[in-house]
Amino acid sequence: MAVFTEVPQDEARALLQRLSLGELRELRGIEGGIENTNYFVTTESGDEYVLTLFERLTAQQLPFYLHLMKHLALAGIPVPDPRADSAGDILLSLCGKPAALVNRLAGRSQLAPEAVHCAAVGDMLARMHLAGQDYQRSQPNLRGLPWWNETVPVVLPHLQESQRALILSELAYQNHVAAQPAYAALPRGPVHADLFRDNVMFDGDRLTGFFDFYFAGVDTFLFDLAVCLNDWCITLDDGAHEPLRAAALLDAYQVVRPLQAAERQLLPAMLRAGALRFWVSRLWDFHLPREASMLVPHDPAHFERVLRGRIARPVAP
């Protein structure tokens, strides 16, 4: 959510008029994140929205994400709901970039979660997976295994020898896992694929919404669950597994959608896959950054620690 594209006030004002949302009162760039340009938008009536200009995703890719959010919102999942213009279009254009405007969710992110917050995430994640099963559009997880295979050679020159050995070994392992019949049989559908602590909103202990769906894609539900466990249920200083929070998240998830036998078998492998995915992407963003105001790349070393921990101490579901 860095600012790569500066949006003039008059263009934001014209967009609000096009969407019949009233007059612009405030336009404020959002710090954090690394993919898109994001602004908080406030109208004269006090309504609040999030304006996103897409810096990497194309107009051909974006309908999957925007219509997925609309689909989930209509199914009662608390997610941002894209606003349409008079022609019914939710994929907009601003400053020469594809864009979208969604409602701003109430609450705030819980960056020091307890078991109650993890349980709420597990419950809603399972409900989201079930709600997405009848979504008709399909698009692969663009940061899945093919992307890891393409990107690891790009970041290798920036790594120390021990890191190169680890990342190549883990990539080979994940290619091996993906070739197994058990992996092919895993339940799959639309997944968030980036449901970190800062992409969920709470009002006290009550979960008020998931947001930032722009890494979503069709993948295994187990991978989505692993990504959550790797952020919500670890200690941030050393990446160590936190069993009480993990049990709360997994138990709440399984009340809604019990894991199949193959999912239980492959959970340790998918926890490693989730750690590898974000180690690779953070290495890429850190060593090959793009120009942007308010851009603060994430530390790649964090998910290296998480991966090493997942390899050394596999977690049974």
User: Domain-by-domain residue ranges, the chain?
Assistant: 9-103, 115-312
Starting from the edge strand earliest in sequence, which strands make up the sheet with 37-43, in order?
A: 24-29, 37-43, 48-53, 97-103, 92-94
Note the pLDDT of residue 1.
42
Spell out, as residue ranges, where the chain has pLDDT lower than 50.
1, 292-294
**Could you tell me the pTM of the whole model?**
0.93
* pLDDT for res 4: 82
pLDDT for 21: 96
What tens digit of pLDDT does each residue of 267-298 get?
999 999 999 999 999 999 999 876 544 456 68
* Residues 6+ away with beta carbon under 8 Å from 264: 316, 317
The predicted structure's pLDDT at residue 290: 62
On the CB side of 76, CA atoms within 13 Å amount to 4
> What pLDDT was estimated at residue 294?
44
The CATH classification of domain 9-103, taken from the options 3.40.50.1000, 1.10.490.10, 3.30.200.20, 3.40.50.2300: 3.30.200.20
**Which burial class, exposed, middle or buried, applies to 165 when counting CB atoms under 10 A from its CB (0-12, 13-18, 19+)?**
exposed
The topology under which CATH files domain 115-312 is Aminoglycoside 3'-phosphotransferase; Chain: A, domain 2 (3.90.1200)
> Residue 298: its pLDDT value, please?
82
Residues 241-261: b if buried by 16+ CB within 10 A, e if exposed: bbeebbbbbbebbbeebebee
What is the reported pLDDT for 31?
77
Cα distance between residue 88 and residue 19, in whole Å: 10
pLDDT at site 3: 66
Is residue 169 exposed (0-12), middle (13-18) or buried (19+ Cβ within 10 Å)?
exposed
Summarize pLDDT for 196-221 with one digit per residue, the tens: 999 999 999 999 999 999 999 999 99
